[in-house]
Chain A
Amino acid sequence: MTVTATRETRPSPQAPAKKPGGGSRRRAWATRAPLLPALVFLIAVTQLPFVATLVISLFDWNSLKPEKRHFTGLSNYASVFTDEALRESVVTTVVLTASVVIVSVVLGLLFALLLDRAFFGRGFVRTLLITPFLLVPVSAALLWKHALYNPEYGLFNGALTWFGELFGIESIAQPEWTSEMPLIAIEASLVWQWTPFMMLILLAGLQSRPAEIMEAARLDGAGPWQMFRYLTLPHLRRYLELGILLGSVYIVQNFDAVFTITSGGLGTANLPYTVYETFYRAHEYGLASAAGVVVVIGTIVIATFALRTVSSLFREEASRA
C-alpha cells in the first residue's frame, strides 16, 4: 500500500524540475503530506494489530493468570499443530470449505444456466435467488437451526408429518437432522447462502459469451451438450476459478453457522471457532493468536491465488478489447 501511495504522488516527468535536491524533495513531501494521515490510519488499523498478534503469539499468556505471562518462542505454534482438537479443526475446516464450495459452484452453475435463458419474470426470479446471500449470516444460521432443522417444530419434520398424513402413515420418521448429520447440516445452510454468489459470478460469465460464436456453432450443427462442453465451459473457466477462490476465502473464515447451529459440538468445530474458544473460554491469548496467525496465513495463500485469477481475468478482458 505504501508503494501505491508513493507511486501516485511521484512528480511526473513532464513537471519542470527547477532545482535538484532540497526543493524538489520538499515539493514531493508537500504533495505527499495530505495522504499521510490516511496512510498512518491504514497502517494503524491493518498492520500494527497484525504485528502485535504476531508478538502475542510468542507468549504464554493466560489472561486469568497475568503474573505467569512469559515469552515462549514458537511453542504456541507447535501446540496448534500438535493439539488434537486444533488439528481436527484444521481437517474440519478443509472438509467444510471444499464441500461447500464445490456443491455451491455446481448448483450455482445450474441456476446460472437456467437464468441465462429469457423467460417471463426473469428479473424477479433472479432477485429471489440472490436473497439468501443478502441475509445476515447469523440470522441465516438461526433460521436453519430453529425454523428448518428443529426436530420438534422445524419445517423439515413438519413437512414430513404433513406428507405422512397425506398418505395415511401414522408415525412417519422424524429425524434429528443436526444430531444425525451435523457437518452436512452446517454445509447445507452454507451452500444455501453461497450458491447465489456463485450463480451471480457465473451468470456474468455466461452473459459475456460472444453471441456470434455460439450462433456459428449452432449453424455448424453442434448440439447443446457439445456447445456447453466445448464453448461455454472453457469460456467459464476463469469465472469458475474466481468463484471457487473467493468462496474458499470466505468459507474458511465462517464462524456464524458453526457457532449457532452446533456450538462446535459433534466434530463441527472449524478453525475460526476453535480460535474463538481458545480466546474466550480458555483465555489463552498466546495460543489463540498463534491459531489466528495460522488462519491468516492459510487465507493469504488462497487469496494470492484469488488475486492472480482476478488480474489474469482483467488482462484477458483488456487484450480482447
Chain B
Amino acid sequence: MSLPKNPSSQPKVLFVDDEDSILSSAKRLFRGKGIELITASSPHEALSTLHQHDFDAVVSDFRMASMTGTEFLEKVKIEKPLTSRLLLTGYNDNQIIMDAVNRAAVFKFISKPWIDSELLLAVEAAVQHALRKKTNAKLIHEIGEQNQKLEVLSQNLESEVVSRTQSIEDSRSQAEIKERSVKELVAFVKNLSQVSTAAELYETINQEIWRYHGVLTLYFLFLHGAEKGKIYWTQSRTLHEKTVSPRASHFKDLNIRFNHQDDRQWWVESLKKEPIQLAAIPVRGRESNQNGPLALIFLDHNLKPEMLNQLMDRMTERLQVMTIVLDKILLAEQLIMATEQWQATFSAFSDPIAVVDNQENVIRANRTFYKDKKRQCYEMFDDREEICGGCPMPQATLTMEPATGIVQQSEKKIFRVNSYPVKAATRNFEQVVRVVNHYTDVTQERELYLKLVQSEKLAAVGLLAGNIAHELNNPLSGLRSMAQVLKSESPENSTMYQDLDEIEKASIRCQDIIRNVLSFSETSEDGKVASVDVNSVVEGTLPLLKSSLRYQSLELNLASDLPQAFAQPSSLQQVIFNLLNNACQAMPNGGVIVITTWKKKNEVGITIEDNGPGIPEDILKTIFEPFFTTKSEGQGTGLGLSISKGIIEKFKGRLVAESAVGKGTKFNIVLKKA
C-alpha cells in the first residue's frame, strides 16, 4: 500500500506521552517517513488536539499521570471511531491488554521501550487500517447517499407516475361526467318534447331532481296571468294541484331566490304549510309578452349549500328548454280553454247542432244531436244508412248559401234543418269545407199546422154542406109541394093518397135534416146570444145524430118547466152535437147516453152522460186543449171540445167534464138563466 503523494494529505498521527524524551525520540523516528506526527504531553492536551486535526492514528502511553492510556483511547474511540488506536505499554499484563481491547478496541500493542522499526510498521499498519476504515466508511456513506438519492428519485418517479395516472384518470372521468351530463340533458330535452301539459312538465322536472335527496318536495307554479295560477306538487306519490293567486309583485322577478321572505309568506298563505328551505326558480316563456316569469319552480329542501348550487346549475342549464315547453303548454292550455268554452257554448244549445264535413262525417255535435257516437251525421241523428230525406246540407254545399229543409226522424219527430255552409279558400277557389246544421224540433208546430189545415178543410166542408143543403132544398120543395097537390086531387082513403102522404113525410124529414145541417154550418158569429129554449135545441140536435147513434141507446130527461137560457141556438146545438158524437164514438160497441136538462137557481144546464170507458185523470186535464184527440186520423180534429168550451164561455156559461175510468163520462153545459 502506498501513502498519498500530496503532503497535505499526509497521514496524521497523534503521539501522547507525558515524558518529553519519548516524544522527542518519536518525532525523530517519524521525520521524513511520510507521516505527520503531532505530539501531546497529556491526555487532556491530546483530546483537545484530537478535534483540531483529522488523525489517522493515535499512539498513547499506558502509564500517564491524569488517566491511563486505555481510558484515554476509550474516549478517542468514542470521539473518532475511525482513528486507529495503539497502546505503548511496558507491562506485559494480560488484564491490561484484555481491558484495552474490550474497552478501547486497540489496534496494536507496542512494548516499551519500542523497537523503532516495529513502531514504524505498527503505526503505518494502523494508518493504513484507519485509511481503509475511512475509505470504507466514506464508500459506505457514498453508497448510502447514492442509495438515498436513488430512493428519492424512484420515489419522485413513482409519485410522478401516480399523479400522471391520476390526471389521466381525472380527465377521463371529467369527460365521462361531461358526457353523462350531456346525455342527461339530451334525455331531459327528449322527455320535455313529449310534454304538453303543466302536470307532465312537473313530472319531467321531478324526475330530474329525485336523486337530490335533500329535496323534500318539488312544486311547480304555472301562472295564468297576474291574478291566477295553478300549483302542482306530489304528496304520497299522488300529483296534487291547486289554483292559487300569485298576487305578490316579486313574482315578476326573474332571479333565482333562496328563502326569500315574500316567497315564504306567500307560500304559507297559499299552501298553509311552512317550508324548510325554499328555493324559487322563475322560468320565463320564450315569446310570451308577459313581463315576468311564466312559471316558477319551488323546492322545499334541506340541501347543503354545495348540493344546492349543483342542483341550481343543473336547473339553470335546463331553463332554456323549459322556456320553449312552457310556451307550448301555455298555447295548449289556451287551446283547451278555448275548446272548452266553445264546447260549453255548443252544449248550451238545447236544439241539436252538428258540424259536418263534406263526407257527412260529424266533426262536432252537441249532446242533443245524438244518442250514440258514430261517424256519419245520419247514423248519429237517426240511425240511418244514408242521408236523411229533405236534409238541406247538399244544397248548402252546392250553392254555398244557407239552406233550409224538413227532416223527419224515425221516431216521428220532425225537424226544420238550417244548414250554414262554412267556406274556405283552397287553391285559389272557395269551397264549402263543412256545414253547420241547426235542427229545430217543429213536430208540434207541424202537427198544429196540419190540424189547422184539417179544421180549415172542415170549415170548407161545412160551407159546402150549406150549399148542398140549399141545392137540395129546391127540388125537395117541389117534391113536397107536388105530393101535397096530388094528395088533394086523390080520394083520402085511396092507396094513392097514402103513398103521396109518405112522399110528403119523407120530404119533410129531408127538409128537417137540411135545416139542421144549415143551422150547424152557420158560424156562431152569425147568431146573437138570446133567450133560448134549451129543450127544443136538444130535440133539434137529435135528428143529426141518427147516423152516429147506431148501437147506442139514448135516454132523454128533459125538465118540463125549464126557463129560457142565454145562448145562441145553432152554436149550442153544435156543442150538444159534439158531446153526443164524442159519447157515441167512445162506445163504438154500444152503451147508454142520458141527456138531462135541469135548472138550479139562476142556471140552466144540460148534462150528457155515458157509461163508456171513461177518461183517465191525467188526460181529463188536457181534453179542452186545442187539437187534443184520442181518435185516430179521419175521425176527429181535436178541435171539438176546445171550440165547444169556447162557445159556452162566450155565453158566460161553463163546460165541465167529470169522468171515472170504467164507469163513464159526464159533461155539464151550464148556462145563465135568461
**A and B associate in one complex:** no
